[in-house]
Structure 1
């Protein structure tokens, strides 16, 4: 790929979440195309979030990037290591960045490493995916510092609400570029086979009304509100069922157990179902006996199958959302989106679903209305589905990367000339050669 524009993305880590899925989708779509060559540096090799331990090498996004030929590198930090960066880590990051022409950061958190690496000769693009910069702790300070020093050349905002929020927080408006989220239309679509398989595996009758909640267990998602609505929903609809998937959506999470108990959902109401692989070819048949009405699925590698099994995709977030992928993916799979009015949710569901007030009875009324008007909303989505495709999004990212590189005032040398003398490898990672597309420790890169 000689002559390609070399782009290094820096992740805090690999773990379940929409922003990582979307950014990885962009990299896979651009790598080896549009004159670009992409690679990734992950600060952590494992992450513990939402009561879920998530090793990088078991993550679906990681595996996809490696399969698509990207070099995926790591500083090999452990899950709970939040210590200041060591000199060797900073030197490694600086070396990798200087072998690239431009650096992307997934959200603003990795800027704590970039700012310490002193990369004044490499433009940086931060990819922002929330609408609450004030709730990002020191990450906002790092973003402001990068903008003030001139290090930050641009920032991608996945929603209008993101641009407005970060402009209000002090990021110069000329740096903020809105690129709406998009998804793979070939993957996210109605699928009757997957619908039947997921329902059968969970013990849900084919004719039951199903609401899905796809989110990680986090305060912003307002899980207590969703559960209060779920309790009222199954009381009002005796044949209704609820699916919950995402990091922390299992009985291994003590916080979720407390939330369930608080709304009166006990062990008889809840099933913790391991559905790994459900929804794929051949998994059909009659539902197995199951009296539970709330089904906890945990992290799923096939969210498209879970969405296809549902009639409504719900979001009850209280803050922080920008352009939630679950609403887009869910409605493209045939579930009607019903959300609280946070971020760009209202613009996403306009004409395709409903916005509800942030209280349980109002949320349930929204679900019931969506169930009644399902055919109308699904017809509207079928007419507009290409609006939510990823092709335009990937193209816009590629264009912004090229333009940002051209506008950089620094003439960047080639990788062969720029490569500095080797830095001693970190003791925690082996220094081994790696073929193209392999996943290795960053310290193994010459």
Structure 2
């Protein structure tokens, strides 16, 4: 198997897919390699080098071969890789594809490369992780073209909302297979010791209410809404703290600084001091364990937000806007709120008050969000694809 990434940069889709690659390679049942179009990207006010990425490090540490075409790009929300590739880039891609029986495309953006003429003919499975196909630039056209010529033989949708959106956009229903996201339950679990240690590292009292917002700095995440809700909540919760982590969630991001100034105002320094900007973290299990609430304020694009699942499995109560499959994910486990700062802030307060009630419900739901279940479903689909296309391989 060969997985093709647009690049290694912060985001739930790359985390899920990399975990799937690792899981599918366990036990030697399948052999996986990864080809990345970009060697580094600049987005969310952050330079993200492939070699620094947590997913890259996990893959290579486990023996997965990762190569790159070496491109560097300043990507923005919704952008795709340039569709013009050089001879050496196509030769490298052909070499990577030659040894594969099945190609996995992480989202539809890599199809700009895989649709190039002269490459080996292999069945392609596209892994879809959003619910707004019409908002992906030329990527939807690339997906339709690859389906029309028989290159794409299946699409994995991480959410029901993803399947519904792509079917409505004209993708044949029989190609769309839903495999919900799952997480490593040994890593993402309530951890009282990590909770105390992480809070202590930030000077947060053990009994203080804490809300975590794990997201990259992007329009779809609606950071201004989160910050307005945080201002209201912090003003009411005298001892509360807010954690913001992800690409662009640092003081070095001028757009984020402007958002904070707009939400909090010049006279709210005391409240601002209880907002902790943590940037990209490699210890998200500890961040979530330290929190009482995991918050999501997105307005579009989400499918099955990984932050809600990871946070819940660590004991944080989810509070989210109604986007993608978020409502079904948190049903019975937390709260869905309108995209209004007051409503969001009240949702956080209700979640903290009900945390003891939600704890046993979250514990009983762990198997539903298991990585093991997710990987088994991927393995079954890929084996079917391989079996149905065995013998049809064209160099």
Say whether the fold is shared (TM-score over 0.5). Answer: yes
Deviation at 1:89, TM superposition (A): 0.8
Q: Which residue of 1 aligns with 2:78?
A: none
Q: Which residue of 1 aligns with 2:72?
A: 78
- Aligned Cα RMSD in Å? 1.6
Deviation at 1:196, TM superposition (A): 1.2
Q: Which residue of 2 aligns with 1:55?
A: 49
Residue-by-residue CA offset, 1:50-88 (whole Å, 9 max, x unaligned):
001011011111011011111101111123495521122
Deviation at 1:412, TM superposition (A): 3.1
Aligned partners of 2:43 and 2:74 also within 8 Å: no
Residue-by-residue CA offset, 1:98-118 (whole Å, 9 max, x unaligned):
211110010000000000144
SS of the residue 2:206 aligns to = coil
d(CA) in 1 for partners of 2:270 and 2:93?
A: 49
Residue-by-residue CA offset, 1:180-223 (whole Å, 9 max, x unaligned):
00000000001111111221111111111000000000000000
Deviation at 1:95, TM superposition (A): 2.4
Residue 308 of structure 1, aligned match among 273, 289, 308: 289
Aligned partners of 2:154 and 2:176 also within 8 Å: yes
Structure-2 change in CA distance of 1:118 and 1:59 (3 Å): same
Gaps of 5+ in 2: 76-80
Aligned partners of 2:319 and 2:337 also within 8 Å: yes
Aligned partners of 2:250 and 2:277 also within 8 Å: yes
The two structures have a TM-score, normalised by structure 2, of 0.95
d(CA) in 2 for partners of 1:32 and 1:238?
A: 48
d(CA) in 1 for partners of 2:265 and 2:233?
A: 12
Q: Which residue of 1 aligns with 2:386?
A: 405
Aligned partners of 2:216 and 2:246 also within 8 Å: yes
Q: Which residue of 2 aligns with 1:298?
A: 279
Q: Which residue of 2 aligns with 1:151?
A: 151
The answer to whether residue 358 in structure 2 is matched with residue 377 in structure 1 is: yes
The answer to whether residue 340 in structure 2 is matched with residue 339 in structure 1 is: no
Residue-by-residue CA offset, 1:112-140 (whole Å, 9 max, x unaligned):
00001444631000000000001100111
The answer to whether residue 16 in structure 2 is matched with residue 15 in structure 1 is: no
Residue-by-residue CA offset, 1:132-153 (whole Å, 9 max, x unaligned):
0011001111111111111101
Q: Which residue of 2 aligns with 1:43?
A: 37
Residue-by-residue CA offset, 1:318-356 (whole Å, 9 max, x unaligned):
000000010000011111000000000011001111100
Q: Which residue of 1 aligns with 2:304?
A: 323
Higher relative contact order (CA 8 A, sep 6+): 1
Bigger Rg, structure 1 or 2? 1
Higher-helix-fraction structure? 2
d(CA) in 2 for partners of 1:97 and 1:196?
A: 48
The two structures have a TM-score, normalised by structure 1, of 0.84
Q: Which residue of 1 aligns with 2:244?
A: 244
Aligned partners of 1:34 and 1:398 also within 8 Å: no
Structure-2 change in CA distance of 1:412 and 1:270 (3 Å): farther
The answer to whether residue 200 in structure 2 is matched with residue 200 in structure 1 is: yes
SS of the residue 2:115 aligns to = helix
Q: Which residue of 1 aligns with 2:89?
A: 89
d(CA) in 2 for partners of 1:186 and 1:303?
A: 13
Aligned partners of 1:331 and 1:378 also within 8 Å: no
- List 4+ stretches of structure 1 deviating above 6 A: none
Q: How does 1:398-437 map to 2 (within 5 A)?
A: 398-408=379-389, 410-412=391-393
Q: Which residue of 1 aligns with 2:269?
A: 268
Aligned partners of 2:94 and 2:120 also within 8 Å: no
d(CA) in 1 for partners of 2:335 and 2:154?
A: 34
Structure-2 change in CA distance of 1:97 and 1:106 (3 Å): same
d(CA) in 2 for partners of 1:120 and 1:95?
A: 9
Aligned partners of 2:234 and 2:271 also within 8 Å: no
d(CA) in 2 for partners of 1:95 and 1:132?
A: 33
Structure-2 change in CA distance of 1:32 and 1:336 (3 Å): closer
What is the number of residues matched between the two proteins?
A: 388
Q: Which residue of 2 aligns with 1:162?
A: 162
d(CA) in 2 for partners of 1:78 and 1:156?
A: 28
The answer to whether residue 333 in structure 2 is matched with residue 352 in structure 1 is: yes
Q: Which residue of 2 aligns with 1:285?
A: none
